[in-house]
Amino acid sequence: MTKHLHTEAINDPVVSNAPGKLPLKQNPHALRADGERKLEVAIGLEVRTLRKQLGITVSELADSSGLSLGMLSKIENGLTSPSLTTLQSLSHALGVPISHLLRRFEEKRVAVQVKSGKGVSMERRGTRAGHQYQLLGYLGANESGVVGEPYMITLNDDSDVFPTFQHDGIEYLYFLEGSVEYRHGDQTFLMEPGDSLYFDADAPHGPVKLIELPARYLSVITYAQASQKSTDPTGNV
């Protein structure tokens, strides 16, 4: 059964109310208090992250490190500068070297720029003549715990056979040119310039009919870093 997103959205309160009405869980314009490069803030963030990874409470970490609850709370919130002795006590309690508590302060943040038309051409599963995939950037392992893979996909030649893709993560499509019928699970969506599709990539998905060529769209895949599973060579479209 073919379903079109632009007609379904009228009856879907989540989609129709989306622009400017759904609360965001994270402020995209937020700044870290006191500046991210401040040593005390960097240490506090690392201590809190390690504590949560271990699944222990502030009270439990305070007991194991010999610190008062109030002092530990100040350290986690970047409100005090811990002494070397305090850092040593925390590192022993958390099971890491002292240098690990300083890594957020010393870590270099990476940005990748790809100039127009300079994306890395990729061979994906199901790639055929006239189907072009360009990887627009890749950061690899990072502190966020999430890996993202942005692609610019261009479909030039009509085809009667399309591969079906299925992989870990979440995928976002934004159409720039052309017209395609795109499948996700048991639904089919008419995708035209300005349309977007956001979905669980574990369901079978991919184009099923090329209506107007060339078709060009942005595809962004995100998945948990812990799995260390890139979508290649399983691929996406």
In degrees and rounded to multiples of 5, residue 209 shows phi and psi of: -155, 125
The predicted pLDDT at position 71 comes to: 94
The predicted pLDDT at position 20 comes to: 52
Pick the CATH number of 110-227 from 2.60.120.10, 2.60.120.200, 1.20.1560.10, 3.30.230.10: 2.60.120.10
Among 118, 203, 114, 116, which Cα is nearest to 164's?
Answer: 203
Residue 205: how many CB atoms within 10 A of its CB?
23
Percent of the chain with pLDDT over 70: 71
The predicted pLDDT at position 105 comes to: 72
Among 206, 199, 179, 200, which Cα is nearest to 190's?
Answer: 179
* Residue 80 to residue 16: CA distance in whole angstroms: 47
Adjacent-strand bridge partners of 173: 197, 219
The predicted pLDDT at position 37 comes to: 47
Domain boundaries, the chain: 39-106, 110-227
Query: Rounded mean pLDDT of 96-117?
Result: 78
| pLDDT tens digits, one per residue of 51-102 | 999 999 999 999 999 999 999 999 999 889 899 899 999 999 999 998 888 8
Looking at the chain, the number of H-run helices and the number of E-run strands are 9, 7
The predicted pLDDT at position 112 comes to: 77
Q: pLDDT averaged over the chain?
A: 79
Q: Are 163 and 125 in contact, with CB atoms under 8 Å apart?
A: yes
Query: Rounded mean pLDDT of 156-179?
Result: 84
Provide the token pair at 97. 């070297």
Pick the CATH number of 39-106 from 3.40.50.300, 1.10.260.40, 1.10.1740.10, 3.40.50.12780: 1.10.260.40
Q: Predicted confidence band at 109 (pLDDT cuts at 50, 70, 90)?
A: low
Q: Are 177 and 216 in contact, with CB atoms under 8 Å apart?
A: yes
